[in-house]
Amino acid sequence: MSANFYMLAKALLGKATCQSANTTRFFLSARIRNARGSNRFIKIGAHTLVKGELLTFRHGGEILIGDYCYIGEGTRIWSSKCITIGDRTLISHNVNIFDNLTHPISPRERHEQFMSIALGQFPSVSNLGESPVYIENDVLIGSQAIILKGVRIGAGAIVGAGSVVTSDVPPWSIVGGNPARLIRELTKEERL
């Protein structure tokens, strides 16, 4: 690791990485990687269990998680704009949620980003085509699903395991596949 990486790590050491309720539980597998260096950019609600990774980029990003949520082991939530997760949402294991492209489209910008990372630095500015993600209350996201930028998942929706969500999901519906498509709406009994 480079000296710059250790300097950045030392600068962040001891700083709060997120705001959370005293009833929020972090498991050994949980990782909070808040490159923005201020706890106001990651907020986690009461009675939420975190086993996955929450990451903001240095140039931007915000993660807001409601009450009584579950973030499964191996799940990664990557924000350079804003990802909002409503109350009582269950995100299973190995899910990936992105509000950005993660790497620039331009080969020159992509190489600059790579060089910055290779030198142990967080890239300070990148064009990542950011667009917020909104996951409303009572959503279930199955294991190994991928949620891409600019998506809204409606209240009570279910995203099937392994699905790739590239467009909005209606409330109280089940979607699945790659790309995720409507399978059916939930019945009145299933909505209780």
For the chain, the residue count is: 192
For residue 178, which phi and psi values (nearest 5 degrees)?
-135, 105
In this structure, how many other beta carbons lie within 10 angstroms of the beta carbon of residue 5?
Answer: 14
The one catalytic residue among 47, 59, 93, 103 = 103
Active site residue 103: yes
For residue 118, which phi and psi values (nearest 5 degrees)?
-60, -30
Q: 135-154 in b/e burial notation, b at 16+ Cβ within 10 A?
A: bbbbbbbbbbbbbbbbbbbb
Q: Which residues are catalytic?
A: 103
